Chains A and B, each alone.
Chain A
Amino acid sequence: MNNVIEINELRKIYQTGTIEVNALKGVDLQIKKGEFTAIAGPSGSGKTTLLNLVSGLDTPTSGEVKLGENYLNRMTGRELSDFRRDHIGFIFQSYNLIPVLTVQENIEYIMLLQKIGKKERHERVDAILEEVGLGGMAKRFPVELSGGQQQRVAIARAIVSSPAIILADEPTANLDSKTGESLLDIMHSLNEKHGTTFLFSTHDQMIMDHAKRLIKLHDGEVQSDETR
Chain B
Amino acid sequence: MIFVKLAWRNVLRNKRRTLLSASAIGIGIATMIFTDAMMIGWKDLMIKNATSTFMGEAQIHHKTFREMFETEKTIPNHREICSKLNNEPKVKSWSSRTQSFAMISSAANSYSIAVTGLDPIKERPISKIDDNIKVGKFLQGNDKNSILIGHKLADILEVELGDKVVVTVANAESGDMSQEMFRIRGIFDFGIREMDRNMAFIPLCTSQELFGIGDKINEIVILFNNLNLKKELNLPFWSELKMKEEIAAESWLELQPELGAVLEMIDYSIFILGAILFLVVAADIINTLFMSLYERMYEFGILRAVGTRSLNLGKLILLESACLALISSVIGIAAGFVITYYFSQRGIDYSGTEFVSVSMDFVYPVLKWNQFVIYPIVTIFFTVITGLYPAFYATRMKVAKTLKAQF
Residue of B nearest to A154 (CB): B302
Contact with A along B280-320 (1 / 0, CB 8 A): 00000000000000000011001111111111100000000
- A interface list, Cβ under 8 A from B: 47-48, 51-52, 55, 57-58, 77-78, 81-82, 84-86, 90, 92-101, 105, 109-110, 112-113, 157, 169, 201
Interface pair B9/A101, CB less than 8 Å apart: yes
Interface pair A100/B10, CB less than 8 Å apart: yes
How close is B123's CB to chain A, nearest CB, in angstroms? 72
Interface pair B307/A82, CB less than 8 Å apart: yes
Q: Is B400 an interface residue (CB 8 A)?
A: yes
- B interface list, Cβ under 8 A from A: 1-2, 5-6, 9-10, 13, 298-299, 302-312, 398-400, 403, 406-407
Instruction: Give the 6 A-B CB pairs with smallest separation, nearest first.
Output: A85-B307, A100-B9, A58-B400, A48-B407, A57-B399, A52-B400
B309 contact from A78, A101, A109, Cβ within 8 A: A78
A82: which B residues are within 8 A, CB to CB? 307, 309
Interface pair B308/A57, CB less than 8 Å apart: no
Instruction: Give CA–CA (A125, B15) in the complex, Å.
Output: 30
Interface pair B307/A92, CB less than 8 Å apart: no
Interface pair B407/A51, CB less than 8 Å apart: yes
Between A48, A82, A157, the greatest number of chain B beta carbons within 10 A of the residue's beta carbon is seen for A48
Residue of B nearest to A141 (CB): B9
Given contacts A84-B306, A98-B303, contact A57 B9 (CB under 8 A): no
Residue contacts A-B, CB under 8 angstroms, 8 given: A57-B399, A78-B310, A81-B310, A93-B406, A95-B298, A95-B302, A100-B6, A169-B407
Interface pair B308/A113, CB less than 8 Å apart: yes
Given contacts A92-B403, A93-B406, A100-B13, contact A84 B2 (CB under 8 A): no
Residue of B nearest to A94 (CB): B406
Interface pair B399/A112, CB less than 8 Å apart: no
Instruction: Give CA–CA (A42, B306) in the complex, Å.
Output: 27
Interface pair A84/B305, CB less than 8 Å apart: yes
How close is A42's CB to chain B, nearest CB, in angstroms? 15
Interface pair B307/A81, CB less than 8 Å apart: yes
How many A-B contacts at CB < 8 Å in the complex? 80
Interface pair A57/B406, CB less than 8 Å apart: no
Residue of B nearest to A77 (CB): B310
Instruction: Give CA–CA (A92, B308) in the complex, Å.
Output: 16
How close is A83's CB to chain B, nearest CB, in angstroms? 8
Instruction: Give CA–CA (A98, B301) in the complex, Å.
Output: 11
How close is B90's CB to chain A, nearest CB, in angstroms? 63
How close is B397's CB to chain A, nearest CB, in angstroms? 11
Instruction: Give CA–CA (A110, B306) in the complex, Å.
Output: 7
Residue of A nearest to B2 (CB): A112
A113: which B residues are within 8 A, CB to CB? 2, 306-308, 312
Interface pair B306/A58, CB less than 8 Å apart: no
B307 contact from A86, A96, A100, Cβ within 8 A: A86
Instruction: Give CA–CA (A177, B403) in the complex, Å.
Output: 25
A105: which B residues are within 8 A, CB to CB? 2, 5
Starting from the known contacts A85-B307, A95-B406, 17 additional A-B residue pairs (CB-CB under 8 Å) come to A57-B407, A77-B309, A78-B309, A82-B307, A84-B307, A90-B305, A92-B403, A95-B302, A96-B302, A98-B302, A99-B13, A100-B6, A110-B307, A112-B2, A113-B306, A169-B407, A201-B407
Instruction: Give CA–CA (A113, B9) in the complex, Å.
Output: 18
A58: which B residues are within 8 A, CB to CB? 398-400
Given contacts A57-B400, A58-B399, A100-B9, contact A81 B304 (CB under 8 A): yes
Interface pair B400/A109, CB less than 8 Å apart: no
